[in-house]
Amino acid sequence: MSRLVMKFGGTSVATLDRIRRAAKRVGREVANGHEVIVIVSAMAGKTNELVGWVNETSPFYDAREYDAVVSSGENVTAGLMALTLQEMDVPARSWQGWQVPVQTTGAHGAARIEAIPTANLDARFADGMKVAVIAGFQGISPEGRITTLGRGGSDTTAVAFAAAFDAVRCDIYTDVDGVYTTDPRITSKARKLDRIAFEEMLELASLGAKVLQTRSVELAMRYGVKLRVLSSFDEYDETAGTLVCQEDEIVENNVVSGVAYSRDEAKMTLLNVDDKPGIAAAIFGPLAEAGVNVDMIVQNISEGGQTDMTFSCPIDQVKRATQAMEGAKASGGIAYTDLVADTEVAKVSVVGIGMRSHTGVAAHMFKALRDENVNIKVITTSEIKISVLIDRKYMELAVQALHDTFGLEKLGGGLES
């Protein structure tokens, strides 16, 4: 019998009525002949409440106890979902992460899944269980302690189960009806994609699109797990949502598939750094040790043996980055005259696997921004992505202009071959 994984996010299980609605979807898949593994998040707002309780109780908390508290939200949802299915005469049982077991590393608050043995659930399915409801976001460390996977970790849990149990598909139910060419709140021309390649989805997720957690897409791409993103609030339709799949399963593509943005960016520049071998390591080593997530990097042309080094990072890491650089300067590791932080910037990116075989994407992008008088501060590229750092006040204008330039409102629009 085929296995199907269904994951329901916090908004999809926010109330008992919504849990019942989700359970009906699960029951329909059971009736279609599937054995179903359901992954549930905590009810909407519950994890934030639990985190708040931890911070109020102990500002410098023990990470092991933090995980014990914040993982409890998913346990509640799993139990309620199993009870609801039982009331519908669907044989269901709830499982916490340690009961499966979901084996993880010991990095509390940011654990990574290492293995999911299948024997336990396989035996229960063989005994007649039709639905296993799993508390997402959690597992068990080698020391036998409860761990959590980081915010959004239930997506990763779902993909990991789909890979472990060779599921035909992993359906991610959320409050949006699929993956769009850009944020519909910014432009009404945004179009829902029927299909998107793993690589494109990974880039969009890492660049600010919040539909799927980045780690879940990485895992799906590695194991070839088909993902379908769809809304738990729309009427049932087998063709609903967006399928995230292999590139060769997509018949026709735009050159650019989507425009992503991140408004929570900062640009930091070290002025008059000695231009000598090892200076980059002397700068970015301390930043890495401080846990600063560096993105874009630009080094100016050297004049008189000195240069300026610019990098971007999340805006909430500016203080940490500043402390790391000041510490490196005080210890004699680097020398610079000033550190300038610009916290009024945003990152805008265009993504598309079609960029591999088409020229002129960068030229069209830069012309579109020029026509709107948007100045580019930093540029970075990859095989299927171009990102620019601009003033935050122009972010929405830039997104709209790029969406129009590449014709993303219609399939097959955009640049000519």
Which has more confidence, 362 or 209?
Answer: 362
Q: Is the pLDDT of residue 391 over 80?
A: yes
Q: Is the pLDDT of residue 90 over 70?
A: yes
What DSSP string runs through 170-186?
EEEEESSSS-BSS-TTT
What fold, for 3-175? Carbamate kinase (3.40.1160)
pLDDT tens across 319-329, in order? 999 999 999 99
pLDDT tens across 187-241, in order? 999 999 989 999 999 888 877 667 788 889 999 999 999 999 998 888 777 778 8
389 touches 342 (CB < 8 A): no
Give one word for 292, left, alpha or beta, with left for phi > 0 and alpha for psi -120 to 50: beta
Give me the residue spans of the domains in the chain. Answer: 3-175, 248-417
pLDDT tens across 243-294, in order? 998 887 876 667 899 999 999 899 999 999 998 899 999 999 999 999 899 9
Which one, of 407, 292, 294, lies nearest residue 361 by Cα? 407
β-pair type (170-174, 3-8): parallel
What DSSP string runs through 316-370?
GGHHHHHHHHHHHHHTTS---SEEEEEEEEEEEEEE-GGGGS-S-HHHHHHHHHH
Q: Is the pLDDT of residue 417 over 50?
A: no
10 is in an annotated binding site: yes
Weakest-pLDDT range from 70-79, 281-290, 299-308: 299-308
Q: DSSP secondary-structure letter at 192?
A: B
Q: Is the pLDDT of residue 159 over 80?
A: yes
Q: Is 121 helix (H, G, I), strand (E, B) or coil?
A: helix
Task: Check for a shared fold between 3-175 and 248-417.
Answer: no
* Bridge partners, 72 (sequence order): none
In angstroms, how far is the first alpha carbon of the chain from the final one? 45
Beta strands in 65-199 (DSSP E): 92-95, 103-104, 113-115, 131-135, 138-140, 146-148, 170-174, 195-197
Distance, in Å, from the CA atom of 141 to the CA atom of 320, rounded to the nearest integer, reads 29
State phi, psi for 372 to the nearest 5 degrees.
Answer: -100, 10
7 is in an annotated binding site: yes
179 is in an annotated binding site: no
Q: Is 94 helix (H, G, I), strand (E, B) or coil?
A: strand
Q: Is the pLDDT of residue 177 over 90?
A: no
Beta-carbon neighbour count of residue 28 at 10 Å?
12
pLDDT confidence of residue 416: 47
284 is in an annotated binding site: no
150 is in an annotated binding site: no
What fold, for 248-417? VC0802-like (3.30.2130)
pLDDT tens across 99-125, in order? 999 999 999 999 999 999 999 999 999
pLDDT confidence of residue 104: 97
Q: Average per-residue pLDDT in the chain?
A: 92
Distance, in Å, from the CA atom of 205 to the CA atom of 403, rounded to the nearest integer, reads 17
pLDDT tens across 25-52, in order? 999 999 999 999 999 999 999 999 999 9
166 is in an annotated binding site: no
pLDDT confidence of residue 411: 67
Sheet of 338-351, strand order: 297-299, 306-314, 258-274, 338-351, 385-391, 378-382
292 touches 321 (CB < 8 A): yes
9 is in an annotated binding site: yes
pTM over 0.85: no
What DSSP string runs through 30-83?
HHTT-EEEEEE-PPTTHHHHHHHHHHHH-TT--HHHHHHHHTHHHHHHHHHHHH
174 is in an annotated binding site: yes
> How does residue 415 score in pLDDT terms, banded at 50, 70 and 90?
low
